[in-house]
């Protein structure tokens, strides 16, 4: 298993580097393979560079909401959660963040419980800073075993991420047979376009994994999307070949 894991890691690094050749953006990518039980990552950015979550933070907000309510959401909470994840509604997110989960400290508590040591919540939730590897830890609690979330709570998040609006199902879904995801995008100062995509993908041959890609420094949103999709497709190819 260790040898398989190391070989897979080498192949992923090569595939990712190839996609990054000739591109300028800052990138943080991580995937977790349940087959090897390992997380693989690559970051290309200057030392100390911070990646902002934009709307990918909404998965964390949803997790906090469920934990605060023992998985039992009322109609209002369900409506807000659905709008937040499926439509990426910012007003619904702000309401949940400020009025339901205890704002910055409430969300930070959840991230700390998950062991996301490189994630710092901002009172402006979209400016929360993180790493792809940290986000994979959260995704693993949703899509694999969790001591934090019950099976029912995991299913609730899964269902919403499985049902994002058609025009938002780009990114980590590229090259997948089925997927659950949450994307984020924001035009922000010197970072230019921040474009991110996190989720869980299953390939045609049944191979599955969690994946998070964070980028900034794109001059257009489309440039960021294209880079993420190229990385996602390259990842899918390596993961498929590893099993075949």
Separation of CA 97 from chain center: 18
Name the pLDDT band for 83 (thresholds 50, 70, 90). very high
Sign of CA dihedral 221, 219, 17, 13: negative
Edge-to-edge strand ranges of the sheet holding 38-44: 38-44, 26-33, 208-218, 193-202, 178-187
Q: Taking a C-beta distance cutoff of 8 angstroms, is the pair 199, 179 a contact?
A: yes
For residue 100, give the CATH number of its domain.
Answer: 3.40.710.10
pLDDT in tens, 31-74: 999 999 999 999 999 999 999 999 999 999 999 999 999 999 99
Q: Taking a C-beta distance cutoff of 8 angstroms, is the pair 229, 197 a contact?
A: no
Residue 102: what pLDDT? 97
Torsion, Cα 213 216 220 222, to 10 degrees, reads 0
Encoded tokens for 116: 């996301």
98 secondary structure, DSSP code: I
* Phi, then psi, of 104 in degrees rounded to 5: -55, -50
Q: How far, in Å, CA of 149 to CA of 67, rounded?
A: 7
120 secondary structure, DSSP code: B
Residue 2: what pLDDT? 67
Mean pLDDT over residues 179-190, rounded?
97
Residue 194: what pLDDT? 98
Structural domain for 196, as ranges: 2-243
Residue 123: what pLDDT? 97
Q: What is the pTM of this model?
A: 0.97
Angle between helices 103-114 and 58-68 in degrees, nearest 10: 90
Number of separate domains in the chain = 1
Name the pLDDT band for 135 (thresholds 50, 70, 90). very high
Name the pLDDT band for 139 (thresholds 50, 70, 90). very high
């Amino acid at each position: 298993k260790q040898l398989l894991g190391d070989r897979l890691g080498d192949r992923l690094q090569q595939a990712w580097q190839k996609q990054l050749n000739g591109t300028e953006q800052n990138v943080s990518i991580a995937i977790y393979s349940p087959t090897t039980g390992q997380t693989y990552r690559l970051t290309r950015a200057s030392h100390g560079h911070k990646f902002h979550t934009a709307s990918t933070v909404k998965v964390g907000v949803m997790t906090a909401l469920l934990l605060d309510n023992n998985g039992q959401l009322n109609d209002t909470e369900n409506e807000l959660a659905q709008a937040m994840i499926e439509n990426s509604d910012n007003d619904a997110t702000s309401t949940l963040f400020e009025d339901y989960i205890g704002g910055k400290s409430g969300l930070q508590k959840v991230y700390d419980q998950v062991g996301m040591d490189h994630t710092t919540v901002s009172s402006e939730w979209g400016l929360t800073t993180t790493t792809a590897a940290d986000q994979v830890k959260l995704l693993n609690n949703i899509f694999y075993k969790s001591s934090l979330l019950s099976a029912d709570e995991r299913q609730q998040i899964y269902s919403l991420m499985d049902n994002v609006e058609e025009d938002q199902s780009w990114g980590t879904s590229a090259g997948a047979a089925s997927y659950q995801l949450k994307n984020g995008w924001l035009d922000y100062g010197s970072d230019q376009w921040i474009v991110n995509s996190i989720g869980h993908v299953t390939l045609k041959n049944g191979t599955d994994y969690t994946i998070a890609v964070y980028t900034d420094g794109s001059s257009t949103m489309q440039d960021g999307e294209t880079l993420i999709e190229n990385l996602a497709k390259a990842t899918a190819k390596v993961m498929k070949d590893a099993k075949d």
